[in-house]
Amino acid sequence: MESRLSSRADLILDSCIMRLIAVAKRPGMISFATGLPDNSLFDTEGLRRAADEVLSGDDAKGALQYGEAEGLPSLRKRIADRCRKETGIRATWENILLTNGSQECFDLLGKMFLDPGDSIAVENPGYLGALQAYSVYGPRMIGVDLLDHGPDMRQLESALSESPKLFYSIPNHQNPSGVSYSESARREVSEMISGSETVIVEDDAYGELGYRGRAGKALSSMTNNSVMTGSFSKIISPGMRIGWMTVPDWLLPKATQFLEAFCLQAGSFTQRVMDRFLARNDMDAYLKPIRAEYLRKKNLFSDLMEDMLPESFSWNDPDGGMFIWLRTPEGTDAMRLVDAALERKVVLMPGKPFHVRGGDNTVRLNFATASDEEMEEGMRRLREAASAFL
């Protein structure tokens, strides 16, 4: 019966993310592989109270009913207020469309913009989950190398000369590399985009996880050819599946229609719970200990790397997010390190699948999920794996 599947079934990129999550759950495994936030930071008590308030309030039945296609207005207002204050984007609550996680936005944007054979510019490396979502629509992906402070501008210029429909970018604490764009890179990218017919998809999944605050102004505050995507997954809970798109006025009617056709609406119950939760929490105060804890974990993790990994390995020092980007010596195949680590029950995410070209000697390391003890034990095992690899 497989022959009855659509041609899109052959186009979809293989992503190992969910498989890795399953492997990482096996007994005795230590995972540096996935993008899961630290469980211990979930505010279960605060969310329980918020859910209680929703279910015991005057409009409990309304919370269990269908809601507006665009999402709960009061939550959209909170998001728009935060967005204006933090990113400089002049969005009103009507520009915010709520989705089931921000992952859904990539599929929606693919549906809205991409016909087979169209092109999309992507960071190289780029976030695999989004590349997988776009791949279904059969675009030609033009890789733009991501350097230490933003995209390679010459490559971006050349990519834009091919008039791609979209440029997918993560300017803050990128997954997988941890890189953030510098202020000048942000200005340059938004100027280039403004002078083109390309729409930038600015993925802000880690924007609130800068250890010392936001890494910089949003590209979407400097150009109107843009959609920003956001999420509560990395700061409050991925299980609640609440993401959003900040959509410019010119795209709003179509985006709303697409959203409605796609899922009618994102889950209204979790939106109400999130709305209550946010009403009780000042966002900056709420984020302070979370940012501090991820900074502490990043420092511990990189100290362990410094102590235990060979000198021929190199890595960066991100100022936010959950990932460190590891390079094994030029010309080596980091997949062998991933295999050697797996034999020692440490799960790593190879860097290659995030690339449209190159990346053989790269590995993405997540320092957010493991406990301190797991980090120490995992790094000891990784040291052994590295010796075997070399």
Ligand X SMILES: Cc1ncc(COP(=O)(O)O)c(C=O)c1O
Positions touching ligand X (CB under 6 A) are: 35, 101-103, 127, 129, 170, 175, 203, 205, 231, 233, 238, 243
CB of 175 to ligand X, least distance (A): 4
Looking up tokens 């460190």 gives: 324
As beta bridge partners, residue 234 has none
Quick check: 388 and 327 in contact, CB under 8 A? Answer: no
CB of 295 to ligand X, least distance (A): 19
Residues whose CB falls within 8 Å of the CB of residue 192, separated by 6 or more in sequence, listed in order: 153, 156, 157, 160
Cα angle: 276, vertex 278, 280; to 5 degrees: 75
The smaller minimum CB distance to ligand X, of residues 231 and 361, is found at 231
Q: What is the DSSP string of 325-345?
A: EEEPPTT--HHHHHHHHHHTT
CB of 87 to ligand X, least distance (A): 16
Residue nearest to ligand X (CB): 101
The smaller minimum CB distance to ligand X, of residues 274 and 385, is found at 274
**Cα–Cα distance, 248 to 96 (Å, whole number):** 9
CB of 204 to ligand X, least distance (A): 8
3-state secondary structure of 122: strand
The smaller minimum CB distance to ligand X, of residues 174 and 196, is found at 174
Question: What angle do the packed helices 153-160 and 183-194 form, to 10 degrees?
Answer: 10
CB of 308 to ligand X, least distance (A): 27
The smaller minimum CB distance to ligand X, of residues 135 and 175, is found at 175
The smaller minimum CB distance to ligand X, of residues 243 and 350, is found at 243
Cβ-in-10-Å burial (0-12, 13-18, 19+) of 58 comes to exposed
The smaller minimum CB distance to ligand X, of residues 198 and 233, is found at 233
CB of 278 to ligand X, least distance (A): 16
